Amino acid sequence: MPAWHVAPAYWQKRGLAAWALWPLAQLYRALVAARRGLYRAGWLKAQHPGRPVIVVGNVIAGGAGKTPVVIALARHLQARGLRVGVIARGHGHSRRDCRAVLPDSPASAVGDEPALIARHFANGPAVPVFVARRRISAARALLAAHPDTDVLLCDDGLQHLALRRDLEICVFNDQGLGNGFLQPAGPLREPWPRSVDFVLHAGAAPGGSPAPAFGVQRSLAPCALRSDGAAVPLARLQGQPLHALAAVARPGEFFAMLQARGLTLAHTEALPDHDDLQRWERMTDPRLTLICTEKDAVKLWPLHPDALAVPLVLHIDPGFFAALDAWLPARLAMPEIAPGSDAAAIIAGTEPTLPENHRPMDPKLLELLVCPVTKGPLRYDRAAQELISRSARLAYPVRDGIPVLLENEARPLTDEELEQ
């Protein structure tokens, strides 16, 4: 793998190179502090869009897994009955204007992550996504087009102080703080610890912050997706030679996850993060099955519709959602969830104690719900109180009328059940 695909080794350990760059890191620290001071003193103005704003960001350079967290948050808030909007700058956004992101918007025009988010909600319930160089402009445009929006999620933007926010969530990958130095001597965009409301971490919890910290586990979905939305179980790909492509911050992690699923990677190809893939050409045997990340697929499918995309599934500590739900009522005038209630048990990921004649799910929800793995339709099995996804070969539980669309809560369907 070429060196420019990997963060410098000295970002993880304080070696000679890191110490040599340390003076530049101190200059960077001074600039960050000065900018923050200008906002604190009121010389630079932070603006609020008039709806609660939740910012999901990170303090390290490179991919930390923010966008999957935004998608998971949006689905959770929708399950609470809230209308959610997403704003972003859109890395690689080719225009200077503010625009809505549609499921078929080209990533080259709106950015990789916004295009992926819009595609995730293509089959509903709808989540409007807007991008602009200034997040406040995106927020105002979104609210003008969708004035009934209850809450805004900002994908990235922890350092975008011009947008005043109500809640900050800082996401870390399994490399944590690295060597703890600021750029260019280390991976930090700003000093840590800094004030945030919640920390989500894939590895060990970063020290120094009093904010509540919750673990995150990432895994690949059991099925890859075709450009037409059809699902292909990864188990069917075992034994086939694959050409794995990734234009993400940490391509080696994606390749390792594929191999952990028992897949044979005859060729791996790592490209720069956010590469637009417009000029990419397949140089390997065309008989190799092309497989890529879901983020890359939104750019690859228009020219290579035969590619398979493997979604990333996020498992967030249920305690985080319980803590988030405790924060929501004060901001949104929502009824609180009693700690001992069945709804609270569902949020916490435990089994609620249901009455003998528990409430069934409203069948009208089927018009809004889709399988979170394959985006395919669901069938409601009233007797078993399950939502059946034939495309993902999974059965999601329904508890006291509430669908629990979490992969780690679902059970696999047997071949006999699929034939019914």
If DSSP codes are grouped into helix, strand and coil, which group holds residue 378? Answer: coil
Question: Using CA atoms, how far apart are residues 184 and 201, in angstroms rounded to an integer?
Answer: 23
If DSSP codes are grouped into helix, strand and coil, which group holds residue 228? Answer: coil
Across the range 160-172, mean pLDDT stands at 93
Helices (H), 56-102: 66-79
Instruction: Copy the structure tokens of residue 317.
Output: 């500590």
Question: Using CA atoms, how far apart are residues 63 and 217, in angstroms rounded to an integer?
Answer: 15
Q: For residue 334, name the pLDDT band (cuts at 50, 70, 90).
A: very low
Across the range 77-89, mean pLDDT stands at 93
Q: What is the pLDDT of residues 121-131, one digit of tens each?
A: 988 788 999 99
* pLDDT score of 58: 93
Q: What is the pLDDT of residues 44-69, one digit of tens each?
A: 999 999 999 999 999 998 777 889 99
Across the range 304-317, mean pLDDT stands at 90
Q: Could you tell me the maximum CA-CA distance found in the chain, to the nearest angstrom?
A: 69
* pLDDT score of 342: 39
* pLDDT score of 149: 94
CA 205 to chain centre: 19
Sign of the dihedral defined by the CA atoms of residues 291, 297, 303, 305, in that order: positive
Q: What is the pLDDT of residues 102-148, one digit of tens each?
A: 988 888 889 888 999 998 898 878 899 999 999 999 999 999 999 99
Q: For residue 367, name the pLDDT band (cuts at 50, 70, 90).
A: low
Greatest mean pLDDT range, 25-39, 287-301, 372-386 = 25-39
What's this model's pTM, rounded to 2 decimal places?
Answer: 0.76
